[in-house]
Amino acid sequence: MNVPARVVRPQPLAEQSQFASDVLAGLSMRPKRLSPKYFYDEAGSQLFEQITELPEYYPTRTELAILLEHASDIARAFGPSTALVEFGSGSTRKVRILLAAAPSIEAYVPVDISAEMLSQEAAQLQHDYPRLRVLPLAADFTQPFRLPDAINGLARAGFFPGSTIGNFEPHDASAFLVHARRMLGRKAVLIIGVDLAKDVNVLNAAYDDAAGVTAKFNLNLLARINRELGADFNLDSFSHEAFYNSERHRIEMHLASRRRQKVRVAGRVIEFRAGETIHTESSYKYTLESFGALARGAGWTPLKTWTDARGYFSVHALTATA
């Protein structure tokens, strides 16, 4: 069989220096922090796919089950001749469920920060849906971006699955929903997956799995900084920490320095105290009520909500408030 050569794409300079300046700024703060959007280089995207298969990590399989069970009901939220914009698309597994249930989706705009994953997934989807207009956009969807002109004239819907909204601080989650509504326009629909607050043991296990895949995913951020910014993080001297902060309704992931140490990053020296952490991710958990209030405050009207029998995860259809 003929295997196509792997495309090696040097990072555009502007993106690279954005990464460098974000990393240096985050490591200069107290407490130190890094943005979870940088988890998703090629290795990180693959590790995330492995996380979704873990027995402890319930969100992906629960959301998929909700989408499958209620696909035709969810599809009713879409009008005729719709362009579906997916924020942070990653794998196309979820959107395939909507595409199969909603033939009125004529164009699909996957937006993802991981250009590698995006082009592979888009090409495969285009092959499977030859009549769908697949218009991938390699962009950081947390920043403003322009929708392709090719969808002018189509109704617009957004798809934001996976509880990625949980990565935003509540204020930023609200700002994102406002920005999505402005971008999608009047009469827009948004289908959004939101993880729910639950037993703390279930939450803690989901982010600190027995096989250590989430630890690898977290530590890959340091490996990426080593690879791309010529840093000298010793991965063995940092440990993965994940716990539910119940006052703030969020999982926190950190990388804790096992000892006092100095690390060189992009020409600067960063000092760590023993036990000092880098806060790498927050994953906020909502209730149906708290998410409904967030959506309304950002100009969206909840149309319908679907959950699983255990009440672990939720999918919401929202419409732009007139």
What is the binding site for ligand AVJ (CB under 6 A)? 51, 59, 162-164, 166-167, 207, 214, 281, 283
Closest residue to bound ligand AVJ by CB: 283
Q: Which is nearer to ligand AVJ, 41 or 281 (CB)?
A: 281
Query: How near is the Cβ of 242 to ligand AVJ at its closest, in Å?
Result: 7
Q: Which of 256, 255, 259 is nearest to 274 (CA)?
A: 259
Q: Which is nearer to ligand AVJ, 48 or 272 (CB)?
A: 48
Query: How near is the Cβ of 90 to ligand AVJ at its closest, in Å?
Result: 8
User: Using CA atoms, how far apart are residues 45 and 207, in angstroms rounded to an integer?
Assistant: 16
Query: How near is the Cβ of 255 to ligand AVJ at its closest, in Å?
Result: 13
Sign of CA dihedral 94, 136, 163, 160: negative
User: Using CA atoms, how far apart are residues 312 and 196, in angstroms rounded to an integer?
Assistant: 6
Q: Which is nearer to ligand AVJ, 60 or 257 (CB)?
A: 60
Query: How near is the Cβ of 230 to ligand AVJ at its closest, in Å?
Result: 26
Q: Which is nearer to ligand AVJ, 155 or 203 (CB)?
A: 203
- DSSP type of residue 6: P
Q: Which of 102, 95, 70 is nearest to 315 (CA)?
A: 70
CA distances from 87 to 11, 23, 113, 115, 181 (A): 21, 23, 10, 13, 13
**Residue 35 burial (C-beta neighbours within 10 Å; 0-12, 13-18, 19+):** middle
Residue 156 makes CB contacts below 8 A (sequence gap 6+) with 82, 83, 85, 147, 184, 185, 188, 189
Q: Which is nearer to ligand AVJ, 82 or 220 (CB)?
A: 220
Query: How near is the Cβ of 99 to ligand AVJ at its closest, in Å?
Result: 21
Query: How near is the Cβ of 275 to ligand AVJ at its closest, in Å?
Result: 22
Q: Which is nearer to ligand AVJ, 82 or 214 (CB)?
A: 214
Q: Which is nearer to ligand AVJ, 35 or 226 (CB)?
A: 35
User: Using CA atoms, how far apart are residues 256 and 235, in angstroms rounded to an integer?
Assistant: 11
Alpha carbon dihedral 174, 66, 164, 209, in 10-degree steps, equals 140
- DSSP type of residue 289: H
Query: How near is the Cβ of 199 to ligand AVJ at its closest, in Å?
Result: 16
